[in-house]
């Protein structure tokens, strides 16, 4: 299943499309897909002081927005897969970045 992942509010843009394996689809979004995306973000060229950012921002400090709704990230990635096969949009926002979303406690 395809996920389009963006990280906003950081020093450099991050925007990637990825296919998830069955193992990643079974994991909670925050522990699987979001954690992997944040790890890749910290390896980007042009990122200023990645080690300091790693200490300050963890996957638990980021806001997760899936298809326009804020989620807590505890549901498995597979629960967000669309029957149509369209990519699922995951936007990860650093705490001080404002996004226009509807808040949903969990799914």
- What is the per-residue pLDDT across 26-76, written as a single tens digit (0 to 9) for each? 999 999 999 999 988 888 877 777 777 777 788 888 899 999 999 999 999
Instruction: Give the pLDDT confidence score for residue 105 in this predicted structure.
Output: 38
pLDDT of res. 22: 93
- Which class would CATH give 2-103? alpha beta
DSSP-assigned letters across all residues of 27-53: SBTIIIIIHHHHHHHTT-TT-TTHHHH
For residue 104, pLDDT over 70 is answered with no
Q: Is the pLDDT of residue 107 over 80?
A: no
Going from N- to C-terminal start, the domains of the chain cover 2-103
> Nearest 10 degrees: CA dihedral of 48, 52, 66, 85?
70
If you average pLDDT over residues 8-33, what whole number do you get? 90
Average pLDDT of the residues of the chain: 84
CB 27 within 8 A of CB 76: yes
Whole-number percent of the chain with pLDDT over 70:
89
Neighbour count for residue 71 (Cβ, 10 Å): 22
């Amino acid at each position: 299943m395809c996920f389009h992942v963006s990280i906003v509010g950081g020093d450099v843009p991050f925007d990637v499309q990825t296919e998830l394996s069955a193992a990643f689809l079974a994991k909670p979004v925050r522990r699987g897909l979001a954690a992997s995306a944040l790890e890749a973000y910290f390896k980007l060229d042009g990122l200023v002081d990645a080690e300091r950012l790693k200490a300050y921002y963890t996957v638990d400090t980021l806001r997760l927005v899936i298809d326009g709704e804020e989620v807590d990230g505890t549901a498995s990635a597979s629960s967000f897969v669309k029957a149509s096969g369209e990519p699922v949009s995951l936007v990860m926002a650093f705490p001080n970045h404002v996004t226009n979303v509807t808040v949903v406690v969990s799914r």
